[in-house]
Amino acid sequence: MVELQINTTQNVNINFTAASVGDRILAYIIDLIIKIAYIVVIYQLTFNLFEIDEMIEDMDHWSQIAIQACFYLPVVLYSLIFETILDGQTLGKRIMKIKVVKIDGYQASLADFVIRWFFRIVDINMMSGIVALISIVTSKKSQRLGDMTAGTSVISLKNNVNISHTILEDLEDTYTPTYPSVIKLSDNDARIIKDTFITAKAAKDYTTLIKLRKKIIEVIDIKEVQGNDIEFIDTILKDYNYYTQSM
């Protein structure tokens, strides 16, 4: 089992467990079954039920290919679509409780998912996935070529039902939030803030607390700040939990 230590831009180390090769293969198989099921259903609907082939038979060859390709385009873009919508997970990854993350501690972006998807041509589609398997096994961070290029890795979410569990705060029933714009943060942002906050507060590292406060203000666009640095950041974390738990 490979342990990943992600060093954030705030110099906070966060430890994750890399998804095992077995989990990644099972997730791939589940996704493959879903894609095959989609192809079967689309084929039955378009060519048997609605007889699309007869509707386009008078078109030229390339037009027929283009129309048929449109029906199967979701299969080609499957991983890109779902990893973007489900924040680093396909349906197979979600079932296996694994997720794509940036190794710098931030959420993976659309550009990262596009790079991973593009490199599937080499990683998975060529040599039946042998390239990806060799890369994952030999890489120190369990990365396939697409992960290395995008700066991502696949982590396991098992034993912690949700990453956001590490950022929960005790809130009273009468708690009133102060900063509504805190919802601009992601779970990963809140986790980084909390880890940095706890470390800096314990070490009485006021320089880091000041930098963290300034960064939060910049990101969520706060005009007026209440309390000192510690009180402010503590309020931010509680507000984030208040709004996300209410969703």
Lowest mean pLDDT among 13-27, 111-125, 139-153: 13-27
- pLDDT confidence of residue 10: 47
Same structural domain, 130 and 34: yes
According to DSSP, residue 98 is labeled E
Cα 234 off chain centre by = 26
Q: Is the pLDDT of residue 162 over 50?
A: no
45 pLDDT more than 90 = no
Residue 161, pLDDT > 50, answer: no
Question: How far apart are alpha carbons 194 and 105 in whole angstroms?
Answer: 13
Last residue of a domain, one of 140, 156, 172: 156
**What is the pLDDT averaged over residues 220-245?**
88
Closest CA to 91 of 159, 26, 156, 188: 26
Run of H or E residues at 29: helix 21-43
Which amino acid is located at 102 in the chain?
K
Q: Which of 139, 156, 173 is the last residue before a domain boundary?
A: 156
Residue 85's Cβ-side half-sphere holds a number of Cα atoms within 13 Å equal to: 10
**Domain final residue, candidates 125, 156, 187:** 156
Per-residue pLDDT tens for 47-92?
Answer: 666 667 677 777 887 887 888 788 889 999 999 999 999 989 999 9
| Interior angle at CA 93, CA 167 and CA 69, nearest 5 | 130
List of residues 6+ apart from 100 with CB closer than 8 A: 83, 88, 89, 93, 108, 112, 113, 116, 147, 152, 153, 154
Give the whole-angstrom CA distance, residue 74 versus residue 199.
Answer: 45
Count the neighbouring beta carbons within 10 Å of the beta carbon of residue 116: 24
The answer to whether residues 170 and 114 belong to one domain is no
Query: Residue 134 is part of which domain span?
Result: 3-156
Same domain, 129 and 211: no
Q: Are residues 53 and 79 in the same domain?
A: yes
Q: Answer yes or no: do 169 and 141 share one domain.
A: no
Give CA–CA dist 212/149, Å, rounded.
Answer: 29
Supply the pLDDT for residue 164: 41
* Higher per-residue confidence, 8 vs 187: 187
The DSSP secondary-structure symbol of 182 reads: G
**Judgement on whether residues 137 and 182 belong to the same structural domain of the protein:** no
In this prediction the pTM is 0.61
Q: Which two tokens stand for residue 145?
A: 């070529």
Let me know whether 199 and 111 are in one domain: no
Domains identified in the chain, total number: 2
Claim to verify: residue 169 and residue 221 sit in the same structural domain: yes
164-215 pLDDT, tens digit per residue, is 445 556 677 788 889 999 988 888 888 889 889 988 988 889 999 999 999 9
Specify whether 56 is located in the same domain as 110: yes
- Whether residues 105 and 168 fall in one domain: no
Residue spans of beta strands (DSSP E) within the chain: 3-7, 13-17, 98-102, 152-156
Q: What angle do helix axes 61-76 and 78-85 make, rounded to 10 degrees?
A: 40
Confidence at residue 60, expressed as pLDDT on a 0 to 100 scale: 80
Residues 35 and 127 in one domain: yes
Could you tell me whether strands 152-156 and 98-102 are parallel, antiparallel, or unpaired per DSSP bridges?
A: antiparallel
pLDDT tens-digit readout, 125-140: 777 788 999 999 998 8
Q: Are residues 113 and 19 in the same domain?
A: yes
Number of Cα atoms under 13 Å in the Cβ half of residue 66: 5
Rounded Cα–Cα distance for residues 103 and 105 (Å): 5
